[in-house]
Structure 1
Amino acid sequence: MGNSQKKRDLNQVQVNAAFKLSPIAAGCAALIFGAVGSAHAQVAEPAATGDQSTSTQQVTVVGIRKGIEDAISVKKNSQDIVEAISAEDIGKLPDTTIAESLARLPGLTTQRDSNGNATTISIRGLGPDFNGYLLNGREQTSTNDSRAVDLSVYPAELIAGATVYKTNDVAVVGQGLAGTIDQNLVDPLAFAKRVAAAEYQKTKNGTGLENQGTGKRYALTYIDQFADRKVGIAIGYVHQDSDSGQFEYSTWGDYTGNVTDTNGNTVSARVPGGGGFQPETLTNTDKRDGLAAILEFKPNKNFKSQLDTFYSKIDTYQKIDEIQAGGTGNFTNATISGGIVTSATMNNVDLIDRQEAIFTHDKIKSVGWRNTFKTDDGWTIVGDLSHNSAQRIQPDDEYYGQLAGKNSLMLTNLTGMIPGMSYGASLTDPNTMAVRNMCGWSGITNTVNPSPTCSSVPQAGYSKGPNIVDTVTSYRIDFMHDMPEGTMFTDYKFGMNYTDRTKDRNGFEGLIVSATGNGYDPIPFPSNSTVAGNVGGTGLSMLSFMPQVSLIPGAAFLPKYNNDILSKSWDVDEKVTTTYGKLDIDTKLGDLPVHGNVGAQLVHTDQSSSGFLAGVGSTPVLANPSPAGMSTNGTTYNDFLPSLNLNGDLGNDTVLRLALGKQIARPDMTDMRGSFSFSPTTVTTGTTTTTVFSGSAGNPNLKPFRADALDLSLEKYFAKKGYISGAVFYKKLDSYIVPQISIIDFSPYLSSVGYSPLPNNVGVLTQTVNGSGGNLKGYELSASVPFNLASKWLDGFGAFGSYSSTTSSVQLPNIIGLNPDQNPLPGSIGLPGLSKENAKLTLYYEKNGFSAFVADNYRSRYIGSVTNSTVGGYPTLQYIESQRWVSAQIGYEIQDGYMKGLAIRLEGNNLNRPWYQQTNFDGSINMRTQTGGTVFLSVNYKLQ
C-alpha cells in the first residue's frame, strides 16, 4: 500500500475534519473555541508538508452548493457511517442555528419549543439524552436538568460545521447510544491570509399572528496569521436581542356529563376543555452574547499548540398573562353538535388572573488546550486538557389575582383551536381586583393562625426555580503510529481519557403570602399595573403587572417542603476513565477493496449522587423534614465496547458500509438523584385500616442503557457533488431504565428522619431501576442531487431530502405529565423521542452569486420531554403532535469589484405558521399554541 493511501487514512482520523471541512468550515465559524478538529482530531491532524502554502485551505468558493459539497466529502471519505453539515462561508451555516441545520440530516429530527425554535436533536428515534455532545471532540455540559444539550446556546456564526456519528468509533470519547454530535470549529492557520467578516441582521418574529416581535443580531469575525505563519488567531463575537409574543391554550381535560341546552333540556354531552383551562399570552425577551477566541502556535511541522476559549451568556424574560378557571360542571345555554358542546355558559366560576414571570440566566464557559507532537520515528502524540461549565439560574414567580366573588363565563368556539370567552364582571378594575389567597392550594393545614374562612395555610402566589451548575474537566492523551507496509492495517492508535463531571441542581420553593393578616389579606395590584387585552386569544381583558425577582409590595415568602420539592435538589458526580485501542484497515477481501477500523473501548465509571433523605410524602409541610440533610450513595462498573466499521468499495463511486458495536448511554441524571423521601400512609382494605410507609427515590446505582447495534448502508456518490443512499439499522436494547414499584423494609431509615417504628415497617417504594430492554429498528432513504447531472441547462439547481421510518418494541410505564416522584398511571407508553416517520425536502438554486432554497420538514407524533413550570421547571413527558415546518431563503453576493464580498439574504422559518400541540395520555389537549413565522434580513461583508 502506498504512502498516499496511508496519508488519506491518517487524515481520516477525524472523519476528515481536515478533509475539506472546508475552506468553509475551515473558516466559517468565525471561531469558536475549538481546536483543530473533532473527536478523532485529538489523535491526528492533517498530514503536514514542507510547503505550507500548498497545504493551506483556500476559501474561494462559497454558497449553498459549497456547503453541500463539503458535507458530502466528509460523509464519503469517512470510515464510519456519518452525516455532516458544513458552513457555506465564514460565519454562515445553512440555517440560522446549528439545531435547524442538523434537523435536515437523514435520521435526525429536532424537538422544537412552543416558540417554534429548534432546540434539542433526536437521532434515529431516541431522545436527546441518548446522544453524545462534543465540541472539537470534547464532552459538553448542559444547562438542562440532565445531559441533553440545548444546541441553540452555541451561536451559529461561530460554528464551521458538524459531524454526526451514527456508528461507534472507539477514538471518539463521550459517545451516545443514539449517536454523537461533534461540532467542528475553526483552525486559523488553515487560512491563506487574513479574513474579516461582519453581519447585521434584522428579525421579525411571529409573522402572521396578532402578537409579533422584532429583533436584531450582529456578528464580527477576525482571523489572522503572524510570525511567518507560525501564529494564528481567530476571534469572534455575536450579539442578539429579540422579543416575541404568542397565545397558548392549555386544558385540564374535557368534561363529559349532564349539561343544559339552549332549550332548557338536560342532556349528556362532552365539553372540550370543560375540566378546566388556561389560556395565556406569553411575551418573551431574549438577549444573547457569545464570545470565542483561538490562539494557535505551530513553529514547525512537528509541533502544534492550540488554546481556545468560549463564553456564552443568555438572559431571557418570559411574562405570562394567564386566565385560569377550574371546571365547575355547571354548563347552561349549551349549543350541541354531534354530542359535543360548541358553546355554553359555565356558571359559578372563580376566574383567576394569573401573573407569572420566568427569568432565565444561562452562562457557558469553556477552555481547551491541545498539543500535538510528531516524533522523528513516526509517532504522533496528542495531549489535551479542557474544562467546560454551564450554569442556569431560573427564578419563577407567579401571583393569583381575583375578584371577591364568582360569576359566569360565556364560552364560544369550543371545538376550535382557541375558544372565545366573556366574563360577567370586569377584571381590569384595580379597586376590585387583588392578589388573593387560593384557599386549599398550599395543601397544608394551618394549625397556628387559620383564617375564619380558610383552614389551610394561605397561598396567594408561588416562587420556584432551579439553580443548575454542570462542570466537566477532562485530560486526554493519544498515540498513533503507522503500521509496517504489507499488512491489512495502515496505522494503530491508542489512548486514555479521564473525565470528571459534576452536576448540582438546587431547587428552593415556597408560598407567596400577604405580609399582613397572618398571610390572608388581599395584596393590592402594583401601582404600575396595566391592562392586558385579548388574553390567550380569547377576547378577555384583565389587569396585568410585570413580576420581578423581588416580591411585589405587600407580599412575603414562606418556604414549603414535600417529596417533590426536595427531590429537585441533588448532585451527581461521575469520574469516567476511557482507554481505547484502534486499528485502521485498508485491504482487500478477494477483489473487493475494504477500508475501515476495528477497536474497543474499556470504560470505567465511578459515580455517586447526593440528595435529601427526608420524612415527607406528597403532602407538603412548612418545616424542613430532612434533619439528617443529604445522603450520598454510588457505585462503580465497567463497560467493554468493541466496534467494527467496514467499507467496501464496489466501484463506480459506490460504497457498502457495515458497522457492528456495543453502545451505552449514561442514565438521566434526574433518575440518578440521591433523593429518598417517605412517610406513613393510611391504607384501607375493606373495614380494616392500617398505616404503612410509602416513599419515592432516585437511584445513584443505576447502570447505563446498553445496546448491541448493527448498521448497513449503501451509498452511491456522484464525485463530491451528490449522492443517493439507503440504510437500515437495528439496536437490541439490553437494558432500559424504567420506574418500578417494589416492597422494601424502611427500618434502616427511620431514626434518620425521626420516625417511630410501625408494627410493620415494610412498605412501597417507587424508584427507577435497570429493566429489560427491547429493540429499535428502522430504515433511511436519502439523496442530494445537483440537477446539472441531468442537464447543463439546470446548472445551479438541486435538491436534497430524506425519509426515515423507525419502530421500537419498548413499552414503558405511563408517566405522561408526572414528576419523578409520582407513581406511574395505568397504561403503557412507547419510547420517548421516537417519531415513526420523519421526512424532509429542500430545493435550492445557487449560481453567480444568487442563492435560494425552500425546505419542508415533517415529524410525526412523539413523546417529548418538556419543561413544566408548575413543577418548578422539572422536565415531564408529554405527547407532542405531528408538525411540518416550511422555511425559505433568497440571497445575493457581489462577485467582483470594490463591493466584492458584500451579500444580502432574506430568510424565513416556520412560514406555514404550524400549531404546536401537547396532548395527554387520554388524547385530550394539554397545551396548544400557534407558531408564527420568523423572517430574517441579513447583510454580510467579508474582507480577505
Structure 2
Amino acid sequence: MKPQSHPRSRRHCPTPLTATAVGAALLVSAFAAQAQDTQTITVTGIRKGIEDAISVKRNADGVVEAISAEDIGKLPDTTIAESLSRLPGLTTQRTKDGRASSISIRGLGPDFNGYLLNGREQTSIGDSRGVDLSVYPAELISGATVYKTSDASLMTAGLAGTIDTRLINPLDFPNRVIYGSVQKDSTGRGLPNEGSGKRYSLSYIDQFADRTIGLALGFVHSDGTTNQLGTGGWGEATVDATLTNGQVVNGVKIPAPWGAGLDFSSQRVKDDRDGVAAILAYRPNKDFNSQLDLFYSKIKTYTKKQFVKGGLGGPITNATVVNGVATKGTYSNVSLVDYIEGISDNDEVMSAGWRNTLKLQNGWKASVDLSHNSAKRIERDVEAYAGTLTTDTLTFDHTGGGTPRLTLGSPLNYTNANTIAVRDQTGWSGVNYPDGTPVPQAGYTKGPTIEDKVNAIRVDFTKDLSGGMFTDVQFGANYTVRTKDRTSDEGLIVSASGVGRDRIPFPAGSYIEKNVGGTGLDMLTFDPQAGLWAGAKLLRKYNDDILSKTWGVEEKVTTAYAKLNVDTELSGIPVRGNVGLQLVNTDQSSKGYRAEVGSGVVLNNPAKGLSTAGTTYLDVLPSLNLTGDLGDGNQVRLSVSQQIARPTMTDMRNSFAASVDTNAANSTFGKFVGSAGNPELKPFKAKALDLSYEKYFGKKGYLSAAAFYKKLDTYITPQTLVNYDFTKYAQALGLTIPPAGPIGTLTTSVNGNGGNLYGVELTASVPFNLAAAFLDGFGGSISYADTQSSVKLPNVLGKNPNQQVSKADGEIPLPGLSRKNAKLMLYYEKAGFSAFVAQNYRSTYIGSVANDAVGGYPTLRYIEGSSWVSAQVGYEMQEGPLKGLGLRLEGNNLNKPVYRQLKADGKTVDTETKTGASLSLKVNYKF
C-alpha cells in the first residue's frame, strides 16, 4: 500500500525567508506575474497528464516524481519504462534493440529500487531484483509514483527509490468507458533491413448496482520485428602491409574496433506480448471498500543473431595506408566462422491482490491486503559454428569509414550447404574425453529457468487524533515470503555421430542472410531452437562458473511500522509531513551447489546436491518527512531516513567450489583456489538526507531545486581473500589437503565499506501562457541532474562472479551511475490537437549486460553516454458523430542513436549496435 495522503489545511501568512529564498521567490513571481488566472478550465490529453502528476508531487509528504495517464489507455509512451525515464533524476538503461527496460534512480542500479504494483511487491523475470518495466503495457496503467525518500508506511522500499505503478480504479470514472486502439509500427528505419509490428488494445470500464460495484477490463497485444547491426572485434594488432606499388610498411594499424579479429553481426528480434488486467471494486457505502486487482503479462521473444567472425593475423597485401592505418587490404589464409545464434525467451508475470478497507467508530480505520505475485522466465541460447574445410582470402575496404566492405575470394562457399557445415571450427571446448582426446565444440547451448514468487499479507490501522501537531497515527505490519529459483543448463553441441567429431549438415529450411553486419558478406544460416536439429546433440559440461548459476533464495520478511502524520505550524510556517519507524526482521536462506571443481571443465556433475544455509537479522529504519508551506505556491521539503537495499540474489547463493591449482605459472600453484556465494550477506545500508525547494503555479506548472546526500555505511562488493582456511570445506567435500596446507584463495562477496553519493536535481515544468496569453497551449519541461559518488569497487568488468578480483586490475566507479542526466520536452495542445518533442540524455556509465559473455550471465560493461529523441503529433475529434476518435503519429530514437560498449578504459569503443529509428501510427476510439 502506498503512503496515505491526508488533506491538510493550507495557511498562507507572511513568513521570514532567507535571502536566497526571497531572491528565488521574486524571480519566479516576476515570471508568473501575468498568469495568476484563477479561471477553472477543463483540460485533457498531455496537459491533463502533466497537471495530475504535478498534483501528486505537490501533495506528497516526501520527495516524489509522478506520471499520470492523459486518458484511459494513454500514457505518453508504449511502456511505463519509457515514461519513467523522462522524470527528473531517473534514467533508463536502453537495450541493444533501443528499448527502455530497467530504471536507475539517482545513480544507483535497478537492483537498488523497490518495485510495487498497486503498493505490492513485484517479482522479476531478471537474475535478481531489478524489474523489467517494459512488461507493463501503457494501455493498462493509470500512472506511477516514484518515491525518492522513505516513508514508514511504504513497504519494500528501495535504497535508491521506490516505483509504485498503478492500475485504474473503475469507481473513479463517472460513467461507462469503452476504449480501443490499433497501432502500426515501422522499426529499424535507416538500416538495410527495416522491421515492422502491430499493436491493439481494448478496455472496458463500467459501474453497476447504483455505482457500488465497478469493473475494469483491459487487454493489449503487440507483436513485431526489429533489426540491428553490430560491429566489434577483439584484441589490438598491427600488421605488415604491402602497398599496391610493392612497398612494404611495417606496424600498420587496423581500423578500430576490430583489430586481431573481426566480429560483425545482423540481429533480428521478434517480440510477441499479451497483457491483461481486471479490477473489481465494491464500495457499498462510504465506510467500506473492497478491490480485487489482477494483472497478467506473457512475453515471447526470439532473437536471431548472425555473425561473421574470424581471427586476422596478417600480413596484408594490395594495401592502402593513411596516417599509419590500413584503409584497404587483403588477408590471405583466413578461416571465417559463420556464427549462428538464437535466443528464445518465454516469460510470464502475474499479480493478484485483494484489499479491504473499513472505517470504524471513533476515528479508526483498518485495512487488510492479501497478494500473490509470480514471474517465470525460460531462456535458451543456442549457438552454432559453421565453416568451410579450406581457408580463403578476405579483402576489406574502409576508405569511407563506418562499417568496412568485405569481399571473400570464394563467396559462394559460404552460402552453399554442400561446402559449409556446422563443425568444431575453433577448438573452443577446453575439455577432454576420459581418454585424453579433445572434445569438439560445434556449438553451445545455455540458459536459465527462473521462477520468482511473493506471497504477502498486510494489515494497517489508522486512528484520528484530535488537537496537537499530529493529525493521526498509522501503524501496521507486512509479512512476505519470497522465493526465487534459478536453474541453469548448458553444454556443448556436438555431432550425434562420429564421437561428436562429424560435420553437422545445415537443417532443412536454412536460408541465406545477406549483407551480414552491413559488410556485404552473405552467409548460410538457420534459426536454432532449444530442441536442436537433426544430427546435433547436447553434451553437458560443468565447472565452478556453471554450477554457480543454479541457486535458490528464500526470504521471510516481517515489517512492523508506526507513523505519526504532522500538521502544525513552526515559527509561523505551516508544516505537514510525517515521522515514523520501521522494524524489519529478515530470515533469509539460500541453496546452491558445493563441489570439488575449479574453472577447468568436466563432463559429469561433481556436486553431491544442493546445500542450504542462511541467517537472520533486524533493521531499524527511522524516517522523517516535513514540508513547509511558504505561501504563494512555495514549498520547502526536508527528509531524513535510514535506507536499505537487499543483496543481489546472485551474491546470496549458497554455492562453493574449490580445487587445487595445477597451473605452475600461477602464484597459487599447489594451493586451494575457490569461489563462493555468501548466504549471510546483510543489506546495503545508507543514511539519507533530502532537501528541496518547489514553486507551484497552481497545478499548471512548477519549478524545483533538490539536493540529496546518501552516506552508504556498507556496500556489497566482490573480494578475493588470499589467506582463507579451507579446512571446514575440505572435510565436507572430501578434498585432500595439498602439501601447501589448507590455506588458499577464495573469491566471494562481502559487506564492504561504503562511501558517499550526492547530487542535485533542477526541474522546470511550465505552460508558456504563464508568460504570455498568446502562447496558450504551448508548454515545456526541462530537468538536469548531476550525481557524484566516492564509492569505488574492484574492477570486475566482464568477469563472472567466480573470477578472482585483483588490486592490479584497478577500480571502477559505482555501477549504474551516470554523472549527468538531462531531459527536455516541448509540447502543444489545444482544441484536440497535440504534439510534443522530447530528448533524453545520460552520460557514460557502467551497466549490467546479459548474454554478453561466455555462459550468458550478466556482466558489467562500460556503456557510452547517448541521447535519444522522440516526438508525437495527434488529433482527437472533439464533437460530432466521430467524437472520441483519435489519430496519433509517434517517433522514437529519431536521432538513430548508436549503442556502444566501451573497453576497460571507458573511452575506446569495443562493440556498437545500430538500431535505427521507429515510427508508430495509432488510431483510437473512446465512447
Tell me the TM-score normalised to structure 2 length.
0.93
Task: Provide the residue aligned with 1:51 in structure 2.
Answer: none
CA distance in structure 2 between the aligned counterparts of 1:206 and 1:729, rounded to whole angstroms: 39
Asked whether 1:815 is paired with 2:796, we answer: yes
Q: Match for 1:68: what amino acid? A: I
CA distance in structure 2 between the aligned counterparts of 1:14 and 1:414, rounded to whole angstroms: 64
Asked whether 1:915 is paired with 2:894, we answer: no
CA displacement 1:55-74 (0-9 Å, x = unmatched) = xxx99742101100010011
Relative to structure 1, the CA distance from residue 15 to residue 439 in structure 2 (aligned partners, 3 Å threshold; closer, same or farther) is same
> Do the aligned partners of 1:466 and 1:873 also contact (CA within 8 Å) in 2?
no
Task: Provide the residue aligned with 1:221 in structure 2.
Answer: 203
Q: How does 1:113-512 map to 2 (within 5 A)?
A: 113-256=95-238, 260=242, 262=244, 263-271=246-254, 272=256, 273-413=258-398, 416-426=401-411, 427-438=414-425, 440-448=427-435, 455-485=437-467, 487-512=468-493
> Do the aligned partners of 1:16 and 1:74 also contact (CA within 8 Å) in 2?
no
Report the 3-state secondary structure (helix = DSSP H, G, I; strand = E; otherwise coil) of the residue aligned with 2:171: helix
Report the 3-state secondary structure (helix = DSSP H, G, I; strand = E; otherwise coil) of the residue aligned with 2:810: strand
Q: Match for 1:481: what amino acid? A: K
Aligned residues: 887
CA displacement 1:888-916 (0-9 Å, x = unmatched) = 10000111112111111001000011111
Counterpart selection for 1:533 from 495, 514, 518: 514
Asked whether 1:561 is paired with 2:542, we answer: yes
Q: Match for 2:353: what amino acid? A: G
Task: Provide the residue aligned with 1:518 in structure 2.
Answer: 499
Counterpart selection for 2:553 from 544, 557, 572: 572
Asked whether 1:873 is paired with 2:853, we answer: no
Report the 3-state secondary structure (helix = DSSP H, G, I; strand = E; otherwise coil) of the residue aligned with 1:682: coil
CA distance in structure 1 between the aligned counterparts of 2:7 and 2:715, rounded to whole angstroms: 34
Q: How does 1:753-768 map to 2 (within 5 A)?
A: 753-759=733-739, 760-768=741-749
CA distance in structure 1 between the aligned counterparts of 2:427 and 2:143, rounded to whole angstroms: 54
CA distance in structure 2 between the aligned counterparts of 1:474 and 1:114, rounded to whole angstroms: 35
Q: Following TM superposition, by how much is the alpha carbon of 1:299 offset from its aligned partner in structure 2, in angstroms?
A: 1.6
Q: How does 1:702-717 map to 2 (within 5 A)?
A: 702-717=681-696
Counterpart selection for 2:530 from 549, 554, 565: 549
Q: Match for 1:940: what amino acid? A: N
CA distance in structure 1 between the aligned counterparts of 2:678 and 2:825, rounded to whole angstroms: 45
Asked whether 1:855 is paired with 2:834, we answer: no
Relative to structure 1, the CA distance from residue 122 to residue 18 in structure 2 (aligned partners, 3 Å threshold; closer, same or farther) is farther
Relative to structure 1, the CA distance from residue 98 to residue 525 in structure 2 (aligned partners, 3 Å threshold; closer, same or farther) is same
CA distance in structure 2 between the aligned counterparts of 1:87 and 1:313, rounded to whole angstroms: 23
CA displacement 1:702-749 (0-9 Å, x = unmatched) = 111111111110000100000111111111111111111112122222
> Do the aligned partners of 2:587 and 2:615 also contact (CA within 8 Å) in 1?
yes
Q: Following TM superposition, by how much is the alpha carbon of 1:594 offset from its aligned partner in structure 2, in angstroms?
A: 0.8
CA displacement 1:91-138 (0-9 Å, x = unmatched) = 100112111111111101111001110101111111111111101110
Task: Provide the residue aligned with 2:914 in structure 1.
Answer: 930
Tell me the TM-score normalised to structure 1 length.
0.92
Q: Match for 1:465: what amino acid? A: G
Relative to structure 1, the CA distance from residue 748 to residue 79 in structure 2 (aligned partners, 3 Å threshold; closer, same or farther) is same
Q: Which structure 1 residue ranges, 5 or more long, are not aligned?
A: 1-10, 20-57
CA distance in structure 1 between the aligned counterparts of 2:89 and 2:811, rounded to whole angstroms: 25
Q: Match for 1:853: what amino acid? A: F
Task: Provide the residue aligned with 1:695 in structure 2.
Answer: 674
Q: Match for 1:912: what amino acid? A: N
CA distance in structure 1 between the aligned counterparts of 2:585 and 2:668, rounded to whole angstroms: 49
Task: Provide the residue aligned with 1:25 in structure 2.
Answer: none
Task: Provide the residue aligned with 1:664 in structure 2.
Answer: 644
Q: Following TM superposition, by how much is the alpha carbon of 1:15 offset from its aligned partner in structure 2, in angstroms?
A: 4.9
Q: Following TM superposition, by how much is the alpha carbon of 1:395 offset from its aligned partner in structure 2, in angstroms?
A: 1.0
CA distance in structure 1 between the aligned counterparts of 2:113 and 2:668, rounded to whole angstroms: 48
CA displacement 1:20-76 (0-9 Å, x = unmatched) = xxxxxxxxxxxxxxxxxxxxxxxxxxxxxxxxxxxxxx9974210110001001111
Counterpart selection for 1:736 from 715, 720, 733: 715
Report the 3-state secondary structure (helix = DSSP H, G, I; strand = E; otherwise coil) of the residue aligned with 1:64: helix
CA distance in structure 1 between the aligned counterparts of 2:849 and 2:651, rounded to whole angstroms: 16
Q: Following TM superposition, by how much is the alpha carbon of 1:483 offset from its aligned partner in structure 2, in angstroms?
A: 1.1
CA distance in structure 1 between the aligned counterparts of 2:419 and 2:234, rounded to whole angstroms: 28
Task: Provide the residue aligned with 2:629 in structure 1.
Answer: 649
CA distance in structure 2 between the aligned counterparts of 1:59 and 1:214, rounded to whole angstroms: 40
Asked whether 1:882 is paired with 2:865, we answer: yes
> Do the aligned partners of 2:337 and 2:425 also contact (CA within 8 Å) in 1?
no
Q: Following TM superposition, by how much is the alpha carbon of 1:439 offset from its aligned partner in structure 2, in angstroms?
A: 5.1
Report the 3-state secondary structure (helix = DSSP H, G, I; strand = E; otherwise coil) of the residue aligned with 1:70: helix
Report the 3-state secondary structure (helix = DSSP H, G, I; strand = E; otherwise coil) of the residue aligned with 1:868: coil
CA distance in structure 2 between the aligned counterparts of 1:685 and 1:820, rounded to whole angstroms: 23
> Do the aligned partners of 1:64 and 1:851 also contact (CA within 8 Å) in 2?
yes
Task: Provide the residue aligned with 1:898 in structure 2.
Answer: 881
Q: Match for 1:430: what amino acid? A: A
Aligned Cα RMSD in Å? 2.0
Task: Provide the residue aligned with 2:48 in structure 1.
Answer: 66
Asked whether 1:939 is paired with 2:923, we answer: yes
CA distance in structure 2 between the aligned counterparts of 1:244 and 1:166, rounded to whole angstroms: 34
Report the 3-state secondary structure (helix = DSSP H, G, I; strand = E; otherwise coil) of the residue aligned with 1:141: coil
Report the 3-state secondary structure (helix = DSSP H, G, I; strand = E; otherwise coil) of the residue aligned with 1:521: coil
Higher mean displacement: 567-576 or 863-872: 863-872
Q: Following TM superposition, by how much is the alpha carbon of 1:529 offset from its aligned partner in structure 2, in angstroms?
A: 1.6
> Do the aligned partners of 1:253 and 1:926 also contact (CA within 8 Å) in 2?
no
Q: Match for 1:846: what amino acid? A: E
CA distance in structure 2 between the aligned counterparts of 1:480 and 1:935, rounded to whole angstroms: 49
> Do the aligned partners of 2:240 and 2:248 also contact (CA within 8 Å) in 1?
no
% identical equivalent positions:
58
Relative to structure 1, the CA distance from residue 579 to residue 547 in structure 2 (aligned partners, 3 Å threshold; closer, same or farther) is same
Higher mean displacement: 327-336 or 135-144: 327-336
CA distance in structure 2 between the aligned counterparts of 1:557 and 1:836, rounded to whole angstroms: 45
Report the 3-state secondary structure (helix = DSSP H, G, I; strand = E; otherwise coil) of the residue aligned with 1:101: helix
Asked whether 1:827 is paired with 2:814, we answer: no
> Do the aligned partners of 1:251 and 1:925 also contact (CA within 8 Å) in 2?
no
> Do the aligned partners of 1:328 and 1:348 also contact (CA within 8 Å) in 2?
no
Q: Which structure 2 residue ranges, 5 or more long, are not aligned?
A: 10-39
Q: Match for 2:690: what amino acid? A: D
Relative to structure 1, the CA distance from residue 447 to residue 924 in structure 2 (aligned partners, 3 Å threshold; closer, same or farther) is farther
Report the 3-state secondary structure (helix = DSSP H, G, I; strand = E; otherwise coil) of the residue aligned with 1:874: coil
CA distance in structure 2 between the aligned counterparts of 1:12 and 1:352, rounded to whole angstroms: 54
> Do the aligned partners of 1:16 and 1:78 also contact (CA within 8 Å) in 2?
no
Task: Provide the residue aligned with 1:639 in structure 2.
Answer: 619
Relative to structure 1, the CA distance from residue 550 to residue 60 in structure 2 (aligned partners, 3 Å threshold; closer, same or farther) is farther
CA displacement 1:524-562 (0-9 Å, x = unmatched) = 112322111100111111111121222111111111101
Report the 3-state secondary structure (helix = DSSP H, G, I; strand = E; otherwise coil) of the residue aligned with 2:82: helix
Report the 3-state secondary structure (helix = DSSP H, G, I; strand = E; otherwise coil) of the residue aligned with 2:159: coil
> Do the aligned partners of 2:853 and 2:859 also contact (CA within 8 Å) in 1?
no
Q: Following TM superposition, by how much is the alpha carbon of 1:258 offset from its aligned partner in structure 2, in angstroms?
A: 5.2
CA displacement 1:418-452 (0-9 Å, x = unmatched) = 2222222231111110111135311112343x7xx
